[in-house]
Structure 1
Amino acid sequence: MIEKLASLGCTEYEIAYAIGYTPQHFSTIKKKDQLLREAIDRGSNTIKVAIRRAQLKVALPEGDYNGNVSMLIWLGKQYLRQSDHLKLSGDEEEPLVVNTLADFVKNAAAKKEKSGSSGT
């Protein structure tokens, strides 16, 4: 039952109450019981596989799945640690420079203005 609840995306808090334990007692038991931890992991991984499968069905051209794309994006962020945030890094010697399209257009206009005014 614990694996099934985890496969439905239930939190450990929800699983504890569903099986008649307080979250504190469930946490204590979980620390001592390897089989319990494995059941939670199997269930948790089952939902992750299901979400990935649904995302692929929607994404692939031959897919005939009529799922809700917004919900698949949200589930991917919640369960699969997917993100639409870009993480960049650089160092002092070779800093990473990132420009937005607006910055690019603004800089191009400034260069054009400088070259146009110096040529007249």
Structure 2
Amino acid sequence: MPAGRPKKILDYKIINDLASIFCTQEEIAHILGVAVDTLQRDKDFSGIYKKGLETAKSSLRRAQYKKAIDDGNPAMQIWLGKQYLGQREPKEYDISQTNWTTQMKIEGLDGSVI
């Protein structure tokens, strides 16, 4: 009879479902009642976790797009334009009243100022 605790069986559907709502590995481990190391040592965990995170990202992207396009949310339209279309806020500089003076002080090794 082998010694030690029995091997934990991980529920991959729960892992995928939790990852698809951006749960961290620590949160998933807590919910499953295992250590994070147990998750990370499992040969299938990494792939399932990454797949769940990608599902979460695409769901979030879909919701943002819907808010921008279907609901006409200007803030979301601007944000998506910056992220995907390279759009930027215009930068305006007024240097007409700036006094551009540079002062330099050189200090010698003995502490004297040159």
Task: Report the TM-score when normalising by structure 2.
Answer: 0.52
Please tell me whether Structure 1 or Structure 2 has the larger radius of gyration of its CA atoms.
2
Secondary structure in 2 matching 1:105: coil
Change (3 A) 1:65 1:10: farther
Partner of 1:106: 95
Deviation at 1:50, TM superposition (A): 0.8
1:26 and 2:26 are equivalent in the alignment: no
SS at match of 1:26: helix
* TM-superposition CA deviations, 1:35-85 (whole Å, max 9, x none): 32221111101110011011111111xx0388xx6xxx7xx9xxxxx7xxx
Partner residue in 2 for 1:8: 21
Q: Which structure dedicates a bigger proportion of its chain to helix?
A: 1
Percent of aligned pairs with the same amino acid:
31
RMSD of Structure 2 on Structure 1 (CA):
2.8
Quote the offset at 1:9 in angstroms: 0.9
Classify 1:37/1:6 alpha carbon distance in 2 versus 1 (closer, same or farther; 3 Å): same
Moved over 6 A (4+): none
CA distance in 2, matches of 1:8, 1:65: 25
Displacement of 1:5 after TM fit? 0.6
What's the CA shift string for 1:74-113, capped at 9, x where partnerless? xx9xxxxx7xxxxxxxxxxxxxxxxx52xx3223x57xxx
Task: Decide whether aligned partners of structure 1 residues 64 and 45 sit closer, same or farther in structure 2, where only a CA change above 3 A counts.
Answer: same
TM-score (ref. length: structure 1):
0.49
